[in-house]
Amino acid sequence: MQHSVPFHQHLNDYASAVDIVPQPVGIYHAFGKRAFDLVLAFILLPVLTPIILGLWAYSRRDGAPGFFGHARIGQKGEVFKCWKVRSMVADAESRLEAYLKANPEAAAEWARDHKLTNDPRITRFGQFIRKTSLDELPQIWNVLKGEMSFVGPRPVVTKELEKYGQDLPSYLAQKPGITGLWQVSGRNDVSYDERVQMDVDYLEKRSFLIDLKIIGKTALSVLGRTGR
């Protein structure tokens, strides 16, 4: 797989190529997936809202905001704020920069996977909500707004787009998901190339039954507190 695409110069070209990316046909692809997202969101809202507010209140005990909205790239290259319960220290970016400068191995891991096995920015509370995936519950708001779906590729930041190489249109052709194939396939043990291929495969094969299966596996993962 080639990963030398100058995405920062040609993102608009890739976004315009979305319409020619092979996708499933049928009712579910046309409007059923969006209808499913809305129905499931409204069913879950009464249960999740008190939990989200409780996590928000606990997170902001240090005086920093309880929610964190991070800019991510969505369908057709649209930038949106992906919401989470804050799991990091208030000065997360400066702490990351200092840590990577002092730890070459961590810097290489960050450049390769855009994540760290031992992330110095994450609080003790943050470790808990990440392991249980509770930090991602506020993304139900992104689903309601139509920026995300319950199932889809993991939303990425701009710097990650180049890792998709020639498969970038497949990512841009779909809404990012709260969960997806990567999240239920041992995400911490999956290489970035494998993750990209999962996004391509999901776009080609997605269906109502596949989405239900992924959501079911996600629920089991959360209940099992695997964080995987």
| CA 193 from centroid of its chain's CA atoms | 16
The answer as to whether 98 is a domain residue is: no
Distance CA 52, CA 66 (A): 10
- pLDDT tens per residue, range 95-113: 888 889 888 888 888 888 7
Q: Look up residue 164 and give its two tokens.
A: 């998709």
d(CA 14, CA 17): 5
Q: Provide the domain count of the chain.
A: 1
Model pTM?
0.83
Collapsing DSSP states into helix, strand and coil, what is residue 82?
strand
Q: What is the mean pLDDT of the chain?
A: 87
For residue 92, is it within any domain?
no
User: Has residue 3 got a pLDDT over 70?
Assistant: no
Residue 29 lies in a domain: no
The residue segments making up the domain with residue 211 are 7-17+47-87+122-223
Q: Is residue 131 part of a domain?
A: yes
Q: Give me the mean pLDDT over the 2-10 stretch.
A: 50
Length, in residues, of the chain: 228
List CB contacts of 113: < 8 A, sequence separation 6 or more.
Answer: 191, 192
pLDDT tens readout for residues 175-200: 999 999 998 887 777 888 999 999 99
